[in-house]
Amino acid sequence: MFTQLIDPLNSLPLTCLVALVPVVFLLALLAVFRYPAWLATLLGSIVTFLLALWVWKMPFNDGAHAYLYGAATGVWNVDWITFWGLVLFNTLSITGLFESFRRWLIAQGSMDVRVQTMLFAWAFGALLEGLVGFGYPWAVVAPILISLGISDLNAIRVAAIANNAPVSYGALGAPIIALAAVTGYPLLALSGSVGSVVAVLALLPPWVLLYLVSGKEGMLGAWPLAVVGSLGYIAGQYPVAVYLGPYLPDVSGAIVCFAALLLLLKFWQPKDVLGYGGKVLDSTQAAQQRQHGLTPGQVFLAWMPFLVLLVVVGAWTGPWSPLPKITWFTQQVSASAPVLHTTIKAVFKFAPFVGGTAILASWIIVAAVLAGMGKLTGAQFGEVFRRTFKQMWGALLVGVFIFGLAYIFNFSGMASSLAKGFSSLGTAFIIVAPLLGFIGVALSGSNTSTNAMFGKFQALVGVQLGMPPLLLPTLNSVGAEIGKPIAPQTASVGVSTSKFVRKEGDVIRHNLGWTLFMLAYLVVIAVVFYLVRPASMTLAHG
C-alpha cells in the first residue's frame, strides 16, 4: 500500500502552499481567465496528477486507478442524476406542462409583490433548484419578478438570495452525493447534518426577500408570509433530508411551502396591497386577479410529474429500499496516512439502482403518461434529448474531470498535508470551514465541485481537531450555498433571460452585500452547532 508523505518538502507551510497550487490554478482558470468549466477541470486535473507524482511521490499505477475510479464516480453518482433531472425538466418545458404550472401559480397569489415574491422567488425557486440547479432558478424566476415591476438588477438579486438555502440539495441532491463520495461518510448521515444547518439558515432569507421588494414597513406588514414561508419550506425539507436522503428535500420543501402559503392566503391577506418598493397599489390594480384559464384536469397534469417524482424517488431511495444497496462490483486503491492515523481510499462502486436510475424511472412514467395522452410526440421526444445534450455536455465532462482531480488530490496526500497544516488553527477553523466553501463556489460556480474539492480535506481537519466528523464537511456544503449569488458561472446562466447578458460583474457587485450578510449568519450558526448541538454532527446521529 502507498504511504502518503505529509510533508514531502520538509517544511509544512511550504508543502501546504504547493498543495494549494491545484486549487488556485483551477479557480484562476475559472474566475480570472473565464475558461469553460470542463476545460479548466481537465487542465486542473493534469496539473494535480503531475504534482502528485513529482512532489508527493504517488505511484503512477495507483494514481491512474484512483483518477479512473474518481471519474467513474462522477459519471455514475452525479452525472447520471443531473442528466435525467434535466431531461425531466425539458420534457415539462417542451410539452407546455411547465408553463401551465407557472400560469396556475401566478393566479394563486394576489397582485401584492410580497406574496408573489414568496411564491416565486422562494418556493418556486426551491423547486427549480431541486430539479435542475445550475443557475436555472435565477433565469426562470427573474423574468417573472421583472413582470411585477421589479427592476432587472433587483429582480436577479431577489432570485439569487432566495436561491441560497436550497442549493445543497440542488439538482436532486448532487452536492451531497459528491460530499459522500469523497469523504466516505454515509450519504444519509451527511444529508441529515446538512439538513439540520439548512433548516436554521432558511429562517432568515424570507425576511430579507420581503425587505428587498417592499422595505422595512412592507416586511413588517407581511410578517406572516415570512414565518409561514420559512417554516413551510423547513417542514418539507428537514424530515426528508434526515430520514430519506438528499434527492428530494428541495422538491418536498417547495411543495409543502406552496401548500402552507396558499392556505395562509385563504385566511389572511396583507392589509395593503403593495407594489415594488412598498408603494400601495390603487384599488383597480389591487383588484386585478390573473386568470390561469386551465381546467382542473390541466392543473392536475401540471402537478403530475412532481408527484410522480416524489413517490418514485422516495420509495426507491428511502432507507427501507434494498435497491440502492445492490452493488455489482467495487474497485478501489488505498493509501496509508500514518500521521493522520487513517487510510485514504479511492473507491468506485457500481450500484445500478442509484438515485439517478430512480429519476430515470420517474421520467419514463411521466413520458409514458404524456405520450399516451398525445402530449409528447416523437419530434418532441427528440427535441428533449437534443436540448438536454446541448445544455449539459459541458457539465457532464466537469463531473468526470473534477472527481478525477478530487480523488487524486485526496489519494496522493495533498489533502492530508493541508489538513495537517490547517489543524494548527485549532477550533478557530470552525470559522474557516464555511468560508472555504463560500470561496470555492464563488469561484467555481458549483456546490458539487466545491464539495468534491474540499470535502475530504474538511473531514481530515475535523479528525485532526477531534471535532464531530460531519461538522466541517457540512459547513463546507452550506458555505457553498451562500456563495452562489456571486459565482460568475451561475450568474452567466442566471442573467441569460435578462438585459444583463455578459454583464455578470454588475450583478455580482449588486449581490455581494447581502451575500456577506448571509455568510456572517452562517458562521454564527456554525459556532452554535459546535457548542450547543455537536451530537447532530456525529455519525451515530445519521
3-state SS of 380-413 is HHHHHHHHHHHHHHHHHHHHHHHHHHHHHHHHHC
Mean pLDDT of 444-466: 91
* pLDDT exceeds cutoff 80 at 312: yes
Kind plus residue range of the DSSP H or E element containing 136 = helix 136-147
* 374-393 pLDDT per residue, tens: 999 999 999 999 999 988 88
pLDDT the model gives residue 290: 65
The share of the chain scoring above pLDDT 70, in percent, equals 97
Cβ(359)–Cβ(313) below 8 Å? yes
* pLDDT exceeds cutoff 50 at 161: yes
* pLDDT exceeds cutoff 50 at 236: yes
Mean pLDDT of 340-361: 91
* 505-514 pLDDT per residue, tens: 788 889 889 9
C-alpha cell at 489: 458561472
pLDDT the model gives residue 542: 43
Mean pLDDT of 147-156: 87
Q: d(Cα 163, Cα 120) in Å, to the nearest integer?
A: 11
Q: d(Cα 89, Cα 72) in Å, to the nearest integer?
A: 25
pLDDT the model gives residue 273: 87
Per-state percent for the chain, helix, strand, coil, to nearest 5: 75, 5, 20
In the chain, the largest separation of any two C-alpha atoms, in whole Å, equals 77
Instruction: Return mean pLDDT, the chain.
Output: 91
pLDDT the model gives residue 243: 94
The residue among 54, 68, 44, 57 whose CA lies nearest residue 6 is 57
Q: d(Cα 98, Cα 302) in Å, to the nearest integer?
A: 7
Read off the pLDDT band of 291 (50, 70, 90).
Answer: confident
Read off the pLDDT band of 450 (50, 70, 90).
Answer: very high
User: How is the chain split into domains, by residue range?
Assistant: 2-537
| Chain position carrying cell 508523505 | 5
Q: For residue 321, count other CB atoms closer than 10 A to its CB.
A: 16
* pLDDT exceeds cutoff 70 at 286: no
pLDDT the model gives residue 338: 83
Q: d(Cα 489, Cα 477) in Å, to the nearest integer?
A: 18
Which of 176-180, 368-372, 465-469, 537-541 shows the lowest mean pLDDT across its residues? 537-541
Which of 72-76, 362-366, 415-419, 445-449 shows the lowest mean pLDDT across its residues? 445-449
The b/e string for 63-95 (b: 16+ C-beta within 10 A; e otherwise) is bebbbbbbbbbbbbbbbbbbbbbbbbbbbbebb
pLDDT the model gives residue 289: 58
The share of the chain scoring above pLDDT 90, in percent, equals 68
* 23-58 pLDDT per residue, tens: 889 888 877 887 888 898 899 999 999 999 999 999
For 74, half-sphere exposure in the C-beta direction (CA atoms, 13 angstrom radius) is 26
* pLDDT exceeds cutoff 90 at 281: no
6-13: Cβ within 8 A, 24+ apart: 6/337, 6/339, 6/340, 6/413, 6/416, 6/417, 6/420, 7/417, 7/420, 8/55, 8/56, 8/57, 8/413, 8/417, 9/55, 12/417, 12/420, 12/421, 13/421
